[in-house]
Structure 1
Amino acid sequence: MSHSRFESIGAYLPSKRVTTEELVSQLKETPGFDLEKITGVKERRFRDTTPENHEDSYILAMNAAQDCLSRSQYAAADLDVIISTSITRSRGTKMYMQPSFAGTLARDLGARADTISFDLSNACAGMMTGTYILDRMIRSGAVKRGMVVSGEAITPIAETAVEEITEKYDLQFASLTVGDSGAAVIIDEAVDDNDKIHYIELTTASEFSHLCLGMPSEKSQGVSLYTDNRKMHNESRFLLWTDTQGNFMADRGTTFEDEGFDYIIHHQFGAGAIPFMNAIAAREFGHPMPPDLNVIEKYGNTSTTSHFIVLHDQLSQQNIASGSKVLMVPAASGVVGGFLSTTISSLKV
């Protein structure tokens, strides 16, 4: 059975920077805590909403896909499958379910008429889920290579939160941490163990699904995200990852120490919660966690794209040496957990 690898990576970040201080200053009620200190988010990117340069989910995704193709050995016509995993699906001022973003991207990028294209949505684990499916398609021999792409114009939930938060603690506070972005990866067949997705597994614990819900606002015509952070970021939720990966490694006859990870990338949901999550993991696995790579201070939570924005950023700064083994840990509404293990050698930015 073949394995897959990350062949190339692309990203797009809007130029507009909005600080946490700016957002908090617009609230009607000052929070009962220091939002920047707790979340670690100093600023995030907001899409351009001017008529002449309007940026929507599709444009963010297209820019990331083109960036990805610019450093790939493949052209769009070489791709067998394109998977779009955006939560937000805006084009102009409208939200689209049909036609699919993936199909439209495939056409506009110049993919073949027989290229498989489809959308999927799995909250902030979207790109990880697309990677999971494409990895399995390559392993089965169904395809040779493909792209997973996402464009997230998700800051409208922050704009709604600014208008609607009136209490010192509100379920919309997490909305103030999000930022807009696009990310894309091309995945093909691995040729050796030095450049390879070793494994990826995902799991859902629906008993936690009510803790983070995106929906039309209860107060206005905006879109909102309601997150119970106190219950979301606690030990029982974090054990979803460690229990799942612990059982997986036990079945393989390995330990966390045996895996030899050089770095770990968590979903970028909060600088305060991640050290707690790592402490629980160190206790459960009986081994210290590797260095944590993150970009939460400058980009915030970019939802589906977060792991790949981190990867792109750290590769661009040459902070990941060739041959490094990286563990990616998703955390998404649903609640979705899991893990991805990959060794990266040829991936460059």
Structure 2
Amino acid sequence: MSTAVIAGIGSWLPPRQVSNDELTSYLDTTDEWIRSRTGIRSRHWIDPGTSTTDLAVRAGRRALAAAGDTGVDALVVATTTPDRPCPATAPEVAWRLGLGHIAAFDVSAVCTGFLYGLATAAGLIAGGMAHRVLLIGADAFSTIVDPKDRTTAVIFADGAGAMVLRAGDPDEPGAVRRCELGSDGELSDLIEIPAGGSRQRSSGELASPADHYFRMRGRDVYRYAVTRTVEAATAALDTAGWLPSDVDRFIPHQANVRITEAVSDRLAIPAERTLSNIDQVGNTAAASIPLLLADAAAHGRLRPGHRVLLAAFGGGLTWGATTLLWPDVISRTDD
């Protein structure tokens, strides 16, 4: 049975960079407050008229070029901000990339979306349903956060990261090991957009404008994020037969610098082995992990042979982790 192996990676960030100072000009907050609680100094937001599909296409094109532009058999897009509630984003992305009439669908697991998508892509390859899969994590969270809510507006941002996976051998560099995934729907209201779905629409009650925005109960999310991420990461390390000291690079979802530090501490992974780019890009949800992978590989912080641990936590609640040996592949962060 074939294993999914990384063949190339690419990323895209919108040109518009939004500093903390820009946000503090209209929000009741300060640069120091934002940096001390989130670790974020600036983030990228899309311009009017740009959509998640646009982000996904740019990142996908770069990943395909990095992998040799030899085509794919399937496309998986992980996103919480589709262009429309219906249809899925992926088919239009596939069309715009010129991929033909391939299988194309979305995966929705909020900030864990890329890892859920990675497990899905790996399953397509292991099951013989695809030889090569393009996986894209893309989100435009600036379109769903309340611009007046300092608890979310300062954190979330836009971007896309993409990865081409090919069928290969489980022992070769870049082979994706078992993805440890979990969920807890009893706590689904900790991270949500209350309005716009069938639950609210069928209730017969009009939603308030605030109910159409993304909301998060930060303190509760922090507690569960740390606990579940550590559990998933520990399970992934056990599956790989690794100790935390074996990890050369820990690539966590870029949710919040405090969460990253707490998880690293509990796993006993040194800070110098824990990579981060949240200070410049913010929390990009499903795009977070591939954006960090692409940036780290392109700038030498992630090198062939590094033992890598990936982990994430998101709405649902959802969480996941996996391990791999980083391969000698091209990372495209520009054209």
Matches within 5 A, 1:72-91: 72-75=67-70, 78-90=71-83
TM-score, with normalisation over the residues of structure 2? Answer: 0.87
Secondary structure at the aligned position of 1:278 is classed as helix
Equivalent of 1:121 in 102, 108, 111:
108
Contact 2:52 2:81 in 1 (8 A): yes
Inter-partner Cα distance in structure 2 for 1:204 and 1:309: 24
- The separation in 1 between residues aligned to 2:236 and 2:22, in whole angstroms, is 44
Deviations 1:78-109 (A, max 9, x none): 3111112221122xxxx3422x3211222222
Contact 1:198/1:343 (8 A) holds in 2: no
Contact (CA 8 Å) 1:156, 1:222: kept in 2 or not? no
Closer, same or farther: CA 186–231 of 1 in aligned 2, 3 Å: same
Give the drift of 1:245: 4.5
Preserved contact between residue 157 and residue 222 of structure 1 (Cα < 8 Å): no
Checking the alignment, whether the CA contact within 8 Å between 1:134 and 1:146 is kept in structure 2 is: yes
Q: Partners of 2:292 and 2:327 in 1: how far apart?
A: 17
Partner of 1:156: 143
**Deviation of the 1:265 alpha carbon:** 1.0
The aligned counterpart of 1:11 is 11
Measured in 1, the distance between the counterparts of 2:303 and 2:285 equals 26
- Offset at 1:261? 1.6
1:323 aligns with 2:311: no
Match of 1:275 among 258, 261, 268: 261
Task: Please state whether the residue corresponding to 2:58 is helix, strand or coil.
Answer: helix
2:133 corresponding residue in structure 1: 146
Task: Note the C-alpha offset of 1:178.
Answer: 1.2
The corresponding residue for 1:168 is none
Contact 1:59 1:151 (C-alpha < 8 Å) held by counterparts: no
Distance 2:13 2:304 in 1: 25
Task: Look up the match of 2:202.
Answer: none
Percent identity, aligned pairs only, is: 20
**What per-residue deviation string (whole Å, max 9, x for no partner) do you get for residues 220-253 of structure 1?**
378422111111112x542223334445655x59
Separation in structure 1 between the aligned mates of residue 266 and residue 300 of structure 2, nearest angstrom: 29
Structure 1, unmatched stretches of 5+, are: 166-171
Question: Cα offset for 1:65?
Answer: 1.0
Amino acid at match of 1:273: I
- Listed one character per residue, the Cα deviations across residues 147-206 of structure 1 (whole Å, up to 9, x for unaligned) are 112332211234x232xx4xxxxxx60332111112211111234422311221211122
Q: Give how far 1:331 is off.
A: 0.8
TM-score, scaled to structure 1: 0.84
3-state secondary structure, aligned to 2:315: coil
- Summarize the Cα distance change of 1:326–1:249 in structure 2 as closer, same or farther, 3 Å threshold: closer
Alignment partner, residue 204 of structure 1: 183
Distance 1:253 1:322 in 2: 18
Structure 1's 177 and 237: CA in aligned 2 closer, same or farther, altered over 3 A? Answer: closer
Aligned to 1:36: 35
SS across alignment from 2:63: helix
Extract structure 1 runs of 4+ deviating beyond 6 A.
Answer: none
Matched with 1:24 is 24
CA RMSD of aligned residues (A): 2.5
For 1:276 and 1:129, the matched residues in 2 are separated by: 23
For the residue of structure 1 that corresponds to 2:273, the secondary structure is coil
State the match for 1:169 in structure 2. none
Alpha-carbon distance in structure 1 between the residues aligned to 2:51 and 2:13: 12
Per the alignment, residue 193 of structure 1 pairs with 172
Question: 2: distance between equivalents of 1:70 and 1:19?
Answer: 31
Residues 19/222 of structure 1: CA separation in 2 closer, same or farther (3 Å cut): farther
For structure 2, the 5+ residue unaligned runs are: 197-206
Aligned partners of 2:240, 2:287: CA distance in 1, in Å? 32
